[in-house]
A and B are shown apart, each in its own frame.
Chain A
Amino acid sequence: ETGVTQSPTHLIKTRGQQVTLRCSSQSGHNTVSWYQQALGQGPQFIFQYYREEENGRGNFPPRFSGLQFPNYSSELNVNALELDDSALYLCASSLTGDGMRYTFGSGTRLTVV
């Protein structure tokens, strides 16, 4: 059984650029959620995807967007990067109906300069 893998592990971007982060869900999981964790803070919910449709969204602007593919892998896209977007981005997969047993990835550390 494979876990959740995220790529890349680290990334440096310039303000105004666009970035795509990738997540491969745990085998058998059909739901993926993305979280942003700023330094010293707990993870904050960005959005969730289930069967390739957005299934809930947190308080993030539209420049944060996502995709889920038929194999349940997922992407997080952020446009017009701002310095405050610097954070650890976590992907978590789960199986709907499994009591919210999330499996988290190790995260992508994004630095915006």
Chain B
Amino acid sequence: AQRVTQPEKLLSVFKGAPVELKCNYSYSGSPELFWYVQYSRQRLQLLLRHISRESIKGFTADLNKGETSFHLKKPFAQEEDSAMYYCALSPTGNQFYFGTGTSLTVIP
């Protein structure tokens, strides 16, 4: 069965420090993986997709099939990065399996 695990419910880092939000998944095939972000009082929005190999707002995520991980990283955290982050997996293209989310707080 498909499952997405985000082991940290809460994560705090200081401004300028590196940040890594962990995501592990369970899926037997080749998944499509995503990171979604929800800023305070805003709706859930797509941050990045692994198939695009893109960097959005300084964030990157590498799919590691051996470790079944898709960790989100940013070298220098900014205060505006404080938000709820959800890792999501899509096996079929028509639905997402979301993790429980990590609340990131960047301390000034």
Contact = CB atoms under 8 A, between A and B. Distances in A.
Q: Tell whether A and B belong to one assembly.
A: yes
Interface of A: 3-4, 31, 33, 35, 40-45, 48, 50, 55-56, 58, 90, 99-107
A105 B45 CA distance: 9
User: Size band of the B side of the interface?
Assistant: 20 to 34
Contact of A100 (B43, B93, B98): B93
B3 to A, nearest CB: 11
Interface string B44-71: 1110010110000000000000000000
Interface of B: 4, 32, 34, 43-46, 49, 51-52, 86, 88, 90, 92-101
Contacts of A105: 43
Contact of B94 (A41, A56, A99, A106): A56
B95 A42 contact: no
A8 to B, nearest CB: 16
B92 to A, nearest CB: 7
A100 B100 contact: no
A90 B95 CA distance: 13
B43 A106 contact: yes
A90 B34 CA distance: 17
19 contacts: A31-B94, A35-B96, A41-B100, A42-B4, A42-B99, A42-B101, A43-B44, A43-B86, A43-B98, A44-B98, A45-B96, A48-B95, A55-B94, A56-B95, A99-B49, A99-B52, A100-B96, A101-B46, A103-B45
Nearest to B51: A99
A31 B95 CA distance: 11
Given A100-B90, A104-B43, A45 B51 contact: no
Contacts of B88: 42
